[in-house]
Chain A
Amino acid sequence: MGRRTPHIPAGLTKSPAFWIILVIGITIYFFTKKAETKHENDTIGETSINISSIKEIAEWEFLTVQCEEFIDTTVKRMIADDRFARIYTGTIKLGMDMKKARKNWIVCRHDTAHIYLPKVEILDKDFIDEAQSRTFYESGKMSATIKNRMYSKAKREMKRRALTKQNIKTAEENAEAQFRYIFSNLGYKVIKIEMKR
């Protein structure tokens, strides 16, 4: 069987509307074939920065743990599941909040300095830099609740990895070394350090 060539009815070719539509169609075809969308602006709008609070603190940091956590989640849907994966970055600082130290935390007599230090802990309640975290994979739409749940999971995981006995011990040793160094430079020969654990 031979291929049939498309046949345009003779009545249609005589209609001017046909030719107008054909020309518009060809023009649109060639225009969209080469067309590409271009963003006129890639920068964010100018908005102010509101300082919500200023606090005087006295926190010594003795160990820095930089963490990255890969968190993914799947939401079951009727047709296709939504998947979402994100890499969270955060910095956990192990150190001491000197506001938690006892009243006279340094007692010096003659050539001896007694230093009473508070316990080593995570200095920041929130340590994830969510704005610098990046999306690794996304299909579908993620709700705010799911994103907050992923953030909390990343926080838990980072804490678990960073708050090890070894890291706490290293931070404590470093704290001791730093205070010993300062007080030996102030001329103290005997430096006794007590730390809450």
Chain B
Amino acid sequence: MSDARSAAQLAERIARESYGRLVASLAARTRDLAAAEDALSEAFAAALRVWPQTGPPDNPEGWLFAAARRKLIDGARRAQTALAAQDALARAAEEIEAEMSAAALPDRRLGLLFACAHPAIDEGARTPLMLQTILGVSAERIAAAFLVEPAAMSQRLVRAKKRIRDAGISFEIPEPAAWPARIQAVQEAIYAAYTEGWSDAAGVDAARAGLTEEALWLARALAAHTPHDAESLGLLALFLHLEARRPARRDAQGRYQPLDRQDVSLWRKDWIEEAEALLLRAAALRRVGRFQLEAAIQSAHARRRHGDDPDWRAIAAFYAALIAISPSPVAQLNYCAAAARSEGPSAALTLLDEAADRFPVLGEYQPFWALRAHLCARTGANAAARAAFDQAIARERDPAVIAYLREQRAQVC
């Protein structure tokens, strides 16, 4: 019984960690993403049946790949696919088999990302397609993130996959001349994957686990392939700064630690140094963009590792620049938080009111109320502060953050 459970756990872990790699390899030659995804889910189902009896294979990823490939070839035969396509499948299988003998599956994820970002694909489908095929995010979850009806999102994804297959869009990483048209969509999808994973600090959601690591891997691969794109470097620098602090986001008791309370000795110094070096290289390219600005903000916070206070005036200026490039309610809120440190709580409360007028959606956002509560408490408006803490607590799901907010509220007499 425990064998069955551990085999199931192994299959689930491989499903999470290897999903994008398997899909990209299975579809590389046929370009048929839908068929690759179907074959892979059948292979996972087979693993759940077989592994508990036989014990898990030595190379589970290779086992799943071989099983999925057999399903693909069977499927092609059943559908009496044109001979040319069967031929392509058989060739792909041979090639990959040869590569497989070198132990690890070749990684084609970055090429698949560029395929999904092709200008021949509907613009609104590019990022969702990347999130689904490479990161295995479900259509429902993508629909929720993009504020689209699930049925409409599924349709959009199906159409885009058909187009990749039928138009013959390549899975190779394109020539540098083609990057400007596509790289932004690739960067945005990687960023979206990271934020989706980051918001689950407690790791309570299995579907999100692994998204940040995968996004970090993709950002590394992208920066290695496009070392002259300042934003690719900025994106990697941003992730490294955030990942460097992951060990400090919770204390030993699992309690939430806001940035200014984190124990800096827990920060990964090597990653911070790497991020700083990347930002310098990006700055030398003289093409500022949102990812570099976000990384620069994290860099300003990282001064605390030397015992220096963060430069709040600089942070506020970075947020102002970020808002000018890509306005968003979250950037606006963070600007207010930085201004609270450099300009004082009263000025920040005025800015916060303006932000809420501009982005009414902020009223549904926990950090908006938490910031308001802190600012009210600092101006001595204690009743207003307590009311704002209540609003914040009502909008939070993470128990560790709720506990932190309650503790903060209790300190307002």
A and B interact physically: no
